Amino acid sequence: METQERRLQLLENFIYLVIWVVVLVMPLWDINQLENTSEVDWKSAFHAWKMICPLLILFLVNNYILLPFLLIRKKSWLYLLFTICAVGLTIIVSIRNMNGQEMHGRDMHGNRPPWENRDREQVRGERPPMIPERMQRPDPGGFRLPPFIAPHFLIAILIIGVNMAIKFLFKSIRDDHRMKSLKKQTSEAELAYLKHQINPHFFMNTLNNIHALIDIDKGKAQKTVLELSKIMRYVLYDASLPSVPLHKEIHFLSNYIELMKIRYTEQVDIRISLPGEIPNTQIPPLLFISFLENAFKHGISYKNESFIHLSMEIKDQELHCLIVNSHFNAKGTGDTGIGLENTRRRLRLLYDTNYTLHIENKDDQYRVLMIIPIQL
């Protein structure tokens, strides 16, 4: 986050630097083009830079003081007041520079002004051409601004306007990055919370199974504890990561099914169909365990034949997971528990709408189809 903002700040300053380098180089190019010479008239260039200098100072004050400390902090009236003062001071300094240049009796190219030449002609006795009275413009009288104030004012306003546009463009980009980062942090925090809710929920169900086995077969209970230790290692270490290899998640599901087989032996028709070749890809951990737990919790009956079928396959960069089980629990529909609801929320946070979760419960059969995108 900080690195991204630093890069944007450097890019913004680089754009300002390029613009002002072009502005400062233009007098050299213009002078050479006008005089049709390859030599640089440094004196004329110096006079041009002297006129540009107040505008550069206006930009620096506006960019690094007025905009960040007043306008961006919602102090609009103070910004307007100080900007008017800064523009006025810039125009005054520019006029003083221009007057100082004229007092030396030279223009930007070192030539005398035309009116001095006319005065000299009059001294020699040459009369200037007479202008008919009807062609002479009457003097309107009153106060008139010098004609060179308007260009300076427009240039100053243009500099401030362009500066504001670039500043707020990069501010908008930075705000957008901050919002995305904040949204990502919020999503990660919620995902971690949901995942940590699944862990105790999973262990509670497994410990209940072990408790039931102790009364039935102590030997099986000991074997179950051993299998549970393998599962705990995955849940406590690997599942704490944002993503895990697909083969580890499949191995975890296989271990869980083996754990359940110890308890239910031949009472349940358990079938597993997995991909022949598991690609080296990453997926979020613990996405399927809640539905598999739900199958063993609500899909087994000691009076009727029961089945649980799990199949996984990869199609067109998508992982298809289908769990079909018998369903005998009339009260619990199997899709209202903490684990299932958390899985739904995790899928929305992880994939937005780019996933499929279809749950169907009819004719004593419960079907869950989950399709998530993967990168091969």
Q: Are 111 and 191 within one domain?
A: no
Asked if residue 200 is part of any domain, the answer here is yes
Residue 227 sits in the same domain as residue 105: no
Rg (CA), the chain: 40
82-130 pLDDT, tens digit per residue, is 999 999 898 888 877 776 655 444 444 445 444 444 444 444 455 555 5
Tokens of 112: 């005398």
Q: Is residue 154 part of a domain?
A: no
Lowest mean pLDDT among 12-16, 144-148, 292-296, 354-358: 144-148
Whether the CB-CB separation of 262 and 224 falls below 8 Å is answered with: yes
Contact 275, 313 (CB under 8 A): yes
Residue 281 lies in a domain: yes
Flag whether 307 is in a domain: yes
Return the exposure string of 19-36: e unless at least 16 CB atoms fall within 10 Å of the residue's CB, then b: eeeebeeebbeebeeeee
% the chain with pLDDT above 70: 72
Number of domains in the chain: 2
Terminal-to-terminal C-alpha distance of the chain: 29
Domain final residue pick, 117, 135, 154: 117
Task: Confirm whether 176 is domain-assigned.
Answer: no
* 267 and 369 housed in the same domain: yes
Domain match, 95 and 234 both: no
Q: Are 374 and 281 in contact (CB under 8 A)?
A: yes
Q: Decide if 85 is inside a domain.
A: yes
Single out the residue in 117, 149, 174 at which a domain terminates: 117
The number of CA neighbours under 13 Å toward the Cβ of 24 is 13
Q: Are residues 7 and 87 located together in one domain of the fold? A: yes
Specify if 149 maps to a domain: no
144 Cβ contact partners less than 8 Å away, ≥ 6 residues apart: none
How far, in Å, are 172, 194, 196, 231, 373 from residue 282 at the CA level?
34, 19, 20, 19, 10
**Do 194 and 111 fall within a single domain?**
no
Instruction: Give the CA-trace dihedral at 216, 220, 222, 224, to 10 degrees.
Output: -110
Residues 6+ positions from 82 with CB-CB distance below 8 Å: 66, 70
Cβ burial, residue 133 (10 Å; 0-12/13-18/19+): exposed
Residues 210 and 98 in one domain: no
Do 330 and 191 share a structural domain?
A: yes
Q: What is the CATH number of the domain that holds 276?
A: 3.30.565.10
Q: Which run of H or of E encompasses 104?
A: none
* Burial bucket for residue 282 (CB in 10 Å: 0-12, 13-18, 19+): middle
Structural domain ending residue among the three candidates 84, 117, 150: 117
Query: Which residue in 246, 224, 249 sits closest to 235, CA to CA?
Result: 249
Residue in 92, 54, 58 with CA at minimum distance from that of residue 66: 58
On whether both 202 and 318 belong to a single domain, the answer is yes
What secondary structure letter does DSSP report for 335?
S
Whole-prediction pTM: 0.51
pLDDT (tens digit, 9 = 90+) per residue, 309-341? 999 999 888 999 999 998 876 544 444 466 677
Residues 107 and 207 in one domain: no
Q: Does residue 314 sit in helix, strand or coil?
A: strand
Alpha-carbon torsion, ordered 196, 198, 199, 205, to 10 deg: 150
Whether 347 and 265 map to the same domain: the answer is yes
Residues 99 and 216 grouped into a single domain: no
- Amino acid at site 60: L
Per the listing, tokens 């020699």 go with: 124
Question: For residue 212, which of 141, 302, 110 has the smallest C-alpha distance?
Answer: 302
**Domain span including residue 29:** 2-117
The answer to whether position 280 is within a domain reads yes
- pLDDT tens for 224-241 read 777 778 777 887 788 778
What is the rounded distance in angstroms from the CA atom of residue 209 to the CA atom of residue 230?
16
pLDDT tens per residue across span 240-291 = 788 899 999 999 898 888 877 876 766 788 899 988 888 889 998 888 888 8
